[in-house]
Amino acid sequence: MGETELRKALQQQNAEQIEALWREAEAAIEAERQQGAASLQQLCEQDQRRLDDEIKALRSNLMFAAQTRALECRLHAEAALETRLQQLARKLLPALAETKGVWQALLRELPDIEWRDIEVAPAHEDLARKKFPAATLSVKKSLGGGLVVTGKTGTIRIDNSLEGRLLRAWPEMAPKLMLALHKEIEPERVEGL
């Protein structure tokens, strides 16, 4: 083999080695590119899952806050409505006091003792003056009807006024009134309770 042939053979061999190195380098670069793309895809998927979880948690927190606020508003509105119902009931007491037989029924419930002080609703003032002429009488519009009596010694005090009865009965009446209102307004919700 001559020098020219040797040179050509070496050039050929160098060209093949260079081409082989290029193929290896390109294959390594492609493998790195694919690994980088896979890593990038994995990071994107992790970020998306994290973002989805954060959105889900935020949505859940916002929903809970909204439901809590709605419940607070509902309870506030119901409390205001209950107060208004009680005020309306109080306004009806004077008319109830005028009902025949109410005064006598309230008197029958009192023990038969001497009464020193009598607080009476305006509707029953004349009747109270006749029934308790020796007692100190004071007229209180807030009673709605009926009377509050204090015994001679001051140790016995009986509230037999319509206002007092309403206040004592209200804890039992209010939930029933509210349930009746709920049934009227939203029957489908109340049926599930």
The domains found in the chain, sorted by start residue, are 96-168 (3.30.2320)
Say what the pLDDT of residue 1 is.
Answer: 61
Say what the pLDDT of residue 190 is.
Answer: 61
Alpha helices in the chain (DSSP H): 3-97, 102-108, 125-131, 162-185, 187-191
- Claim: this prediction has a pTM higher than 0.75: no
**pLDDT, tens only, 19-49:** 888 998 898 899 999 999 999 999 999 999 9
User: Long-range contacts of range 39-48, CB-CB < 8 Å, 24 or more positions apart?
Assistant: none
**pLDDT, tens only, 1-17:** 678 887 888 788 888 88
Positive/negative CA dihedral, 130, 135, 136, 142: negative
**Residues of the chain with confidence (pLDDT) below 50:** none
Residues 6+ apart with CB under 8 A from 147: 106, 118, 119, 120, 121, 124, 128, 160, 161
